[in-house]
Structure 1
Amino acid sequence: MKKLSIVVPCFNEEEAIPLFYNEVKKIVTLLEKKYNLSTELMFINDGSKDDTLRVIKEYNKLDDRVKYISFSRNFGKEAAIFAGLESVIGDYIAIMDVDLQDPPELLEEMYLEIINNNFDCVATRRVNRKGEPPIRSFFARCFYKLINKMSKIEIVDGARDYRLMKRQMVDSIIEIREYNRFSKGIFSWVGFQTKWLEYKNVERAAGETKWSFWKLFLYSLDGIVAYTTVPLSIASVSGFLFCIIAIVMIIFVVVKTLVWGEPVAGYPSIICFLFLIGGIQLFCIGILGEYLAKTYLETKKRPIYIIKERSN
C-alpha cells in the first residue's frame, strides 16, 4: 500500500485548522478508498503564540493520521516546510497551506497526473491575484520577471508551494541543507519533470495573512541573492562605468581650462553629481553586504529548526 503524506506549516492558525481538517479529511478519505492509499497529515507548529498547538493535539487524539511537530520558537515557513519534508515517510508528499488557499480538491488530479503520466511533481500556480492589494500584485509580478531574467533557473509566475511530489524528488530537496532557504528556487533547482496546474486565487478561509509587504520584500531579496550573482556584476559594472565617466570629465575640465582659461563653474551640479555617486556607492556596498550576510549565516552551521515537541 502506497502512502500519501501532507505537510502543513502553521503559525497562529487556530481558527483555520478546524476548517482545513474537515475539508482535507473528505479528500484523503476518498483517496484512501478509491486508490488504496494510506495517508498522514503532518502539522508543523512554527512557534505559534495562540492555541494552534492545542487544536492540533486535539485532532491528533481523534485521528491517527494526524501527526505534529512543534518548534521551540518561530523559525519561518521555509524551516517548517523543510522539517515536514524531513519527517514524513510517504511515497508521495504534498505541501499545503492551512488557510485553504490551496484547494484540497486538486489533490486527486495531482495524484492521477503522477500515476498516469509519470510526472515527478505536480505543482500549482495562480492565474490571478483576486483579493490581493494591487500594489502587492504589481511588485510580485515584477519580482518574477526580474528573477527569471537574472537567474539560470525558472520560477513560474504565480507558483505556489502547494504541490505533490514523488519520494525521489523530496529526498533530493532534503539533501539541500542550506540555512537561507527559498523553496520555490529549490524546487526548480533540483529539476525533475513537473506538471503545472492552474487555478484562480482563493481567499483565506479564516485568520489573517502572516505575510506583510515588508516580509514579502525581504523574502524576494532572499530569492534573488540565493539564485543569482547578477547583482554583484551590476555593482562591478556600475563602478567601472563611473570610473570612465570621471576620467572623461577630468580630461574635459583640464582641456577647457587650458584652452579657454575659464574657471571651473557649476558648483550646484557638482554637488548633485557627488550625491548621485555616493548613492550608487552605498547601493553597491549594500549588494555586497547582502551576499556577505548570507555567507556569514551559512558558515555558522546553525540548525534550520529546533523541535520542542512532536507526536509519537
Structure 2
Amino acid sequence: MQLDIVVPFFNEAETAAEFAAMAARLAAQARARFGLEATFILVDDGSTDGGAACFARHMSGNWTLVTLSRNFGKEAATLAGLDASRGDYVLLMDADLQHTADIALDMIGRLLADGELDMVYAALADGKGRRGPARWLARAFYRVVNMGQRYRLPENAGDFRVMTRRAAEALRQVRDRKRFNKGLYAWIGFRQERLDYVPAGRHAGDSKWPRWRLVAFSLEGITSFTVVPLRVVSLLGITVAVLGFFYGIKIVVEVLTSGIDVPGYPSLMVAVLVLGGLNLALLGLVGEYVWAAVSEAKSRPIYIVKSVAGPGAAAADPRQPTSAGERQ
C-alpha cells in the first residue's frame, strides 16, 4: 500500500534540512507500523528563496518535486499535489514543521483502524493561537458559512489531514478556480473524524498568512460557499424601507393633526447617509460574488507546472491526463 505525502511550500528554504530529516523518520515509521510505502510530493508554489533546490538537495527516499510557474497560492498548490498523487492514501501537511510526524502517524492509524472512515483531519485544540477579536471573528465566520448548509465546515481545521484514494479523487474532481479547500473538504462528504492537536512552533521564517490575507481568504470562502450575506443585506434593506414608510406616515399624521413642521436637514442627512452606506455595502458585496463568478467563467488553468523532478517524477506528473481524460 502506498502513502503519498503532499507538501506544498513557498519560501521555506530555511526548513528544508529539518523537514527532510523529519520526512525520513515519518516514512520509516509509516513502513514499520502500518506497512505503507511513503512517497513525498513536494509542490514549490513559486518560491523565490531557492527553496526547491534546498529540498531537492536534502530529501531522500522516493520523492517528487513539482515546481509551479509562479505563486498560485496554497489552495492551487495543494491541488497540484493531489493531481500528482497516485497512492492508496494521501497525507497533506506543511513544510514549516508545525505539522509533526507524531500527529500524522496518529491520523494514519485512526484512518486505517476504521474501514468506514475516509478522512481524518487535525484541528487546532480550542482555537489555540487565536485570542480576543480574532477568535470571535473566526467563530462568526464559521457560523455564517455553516448557516443553512447540508454539511458542516468544522472549526479550526486546516489542510493537515489524511484521506483515502476515493476522497482524494473526489477533491480532484472539483475544479473551482477560486478555491477554498476548507469548504471543499466538507463539501465532498464521506465519513470524517476530527483530531485536536497543538501545532509545533515554526522552525524558521515567518508565517505566509498575514491578517489581511486571512481576511481576503475568508471572503473567498464566504462568496464560494454561502449566500447568507446577500440575504442579510436584502433583509436589512427591506427593514429600512418598512421603517422609512412608517416614519413617513408618522410625519404626515403629525402635520395634519398638530401642525408640527416637517424635520428638515438633520433627518434628510441621516436618511442619505444610512441608505447611501447600505447601497455601497451591497454594491461591494455583489461585486465580490460577481468577481467569483467571472473567475470561474474564464476557465483558466488553476495552476501551471514549470517542471517535475525527483526519483518519482515519471510516475507522478500532474501534467499527464487524469482519470477523467482531463489535461492540465
TM-score scaled to structure 1, two decimals?
0.93
Structure 2: gaps of 5 or more residues: 314-328
**2:201 is paired with a residue of what secondary structure?**
coil
Residue in structure 2 matched with residue 281 of structure 1 by the alignment: 279
Deviation at 1:129, TM superposition (A): 4.9
Paired residues of 1:129 and 1:201 also in contact (CA < 8 A) = no
2-side partners of 1:195 and 1:4: how far apart? 19
> 1:81 aligned to 2:85?
no
Please list the CA deviations of residues 132-174 of structure 1 after superposition, one character each: whole Å capped at 9, or x if unmatched.
5654344323322332335443121211210000000000110
Q: Quick check: 2:151–2:187 contact (8 Å CA) kept in 1?
A: yes
Counterpart-to-counterpart distance in 2, 1:64 and 1:94: 17
Q: Give the Cα–Cα distance (whole angstroms) in 2 for the partners of residues 170 and 189 of structure 1.
A: 13
Matches within 5 A, 1:181-200: 181-200=179-198
Change in CA separation of 1:132 and 1:297 when aligned onto 2, cut-off 3 Å: same
The Cα of 1:108 is off from its aligned counterpart by: 2.2
**Residue 37 of structure 1 corresponds to which residue in structure 2?**
36
Q: Equivalences for 1:80-229 in 2 at 5 Å?
A: 80-118=77-115, 119-130=117-128, 134-149=132-147, 151-229=149-227
Residue deviations 1:257-312 (CA, integer Å, cap 9, x gap)? 22223321252243123211111111111221111110011000011001111113
Q: Is the 8 A contact 2:151 2:189 kept in 1?
A: no
Counterparts of 1:45-84 in structure 2 under 5 Å?
A: 45-59=44-58, 63-84=60-81
Structure 1's 273 and 84: CA in aligned 2 closer, same or farther, altered over 3 A?
same
TM superposition shift of 1:187:
0.5
- CA distance in structure 1 between the partners assigned to 2:113 and 2:184 by the alignment: 25
Greater shift after overlay, 252-261 or 284-293? 252-261
| Residue aligning to 1:297 | 295
Structure 1 Cα separation of the partners of residues 286 and 269 of structure 2: 26
Tell me if structure 2 keeps the 8 A contact 1:152–1:228: no
Q: Which amino acid aligns with 2:87?
A: G
Identical counterparts, % of pairs:
33
TM-score (norm 2): 0.89
Conservation of the 8 A alpha-carbon contact between 1:136 and 1:213? no
Structure 1, unpaired ranges of 5+? none
Runs of 4+ in 1 over 3 A off after TM superposition: 128-138, 149-152
RMSD: 1.8
Is the Cα contact below 8 Å between 1:257 and 1:264 reproduced in 2? yes
Secondary structure of 2:147's match? helix
* Residue identity opposite 2:81 in structure 1: G
- For residue 110 of structure 2, give the secondary structure of its aligned residue in structure 1: helix
Instruction: Judge conservation of contact 1:9–1:98 (CA < 8 Å) in 2.
Output: yes
Change in CA separation of 1:236 and 1:136 when aligned onto 2, cut-off 3 Å? closer
Once the two structures are superposed, what CA deviation does each residue of 1:191-228 show, in whole Å capped at 9, x if it has no partner? 11111111123221211101010000011111111111
Amino acid at match of 1:123: Y
Q: Deviations over 1:87-135 (max 9, x none)?
A: 1111000100111111211222222222221211111111145555654
| Match in the other structure for 1:241 | 239
In structure 2, how many angstroms separate the alpha carbons of the residues matched to 1:80 and 1:23? 21
- What is the one-letter code of the residue matched to 1:126? L
Deviation at 1:236, TM superposition (A): 1.9
Once residues 94 and 150 of structure 2 are traced to their aligned partners in structure 1, the CA distance between those partners, rounded to angstroms, is 28
Deviates further, 138-147 or 67-76: 138-147
Contact 1:235 1:287 in 2 (8 A): no
User: Which range moved further: 198-207 or 5-14?
Assistant: 198-207
Choose 4-13 or 269-278, whichever is displaced more: 269-278
Q: Partners in 2 of 1:273 and 1:127 — Cα distance?
A: 46
Q: Name the stretch that deviates more: 186-195 or 231-240.
A: 231-240
Q: Aligned partner of 2:56: which letter?
A: K
CA separation of 1:108 and 1:310: change in aligned 2, threshold 3 A: same
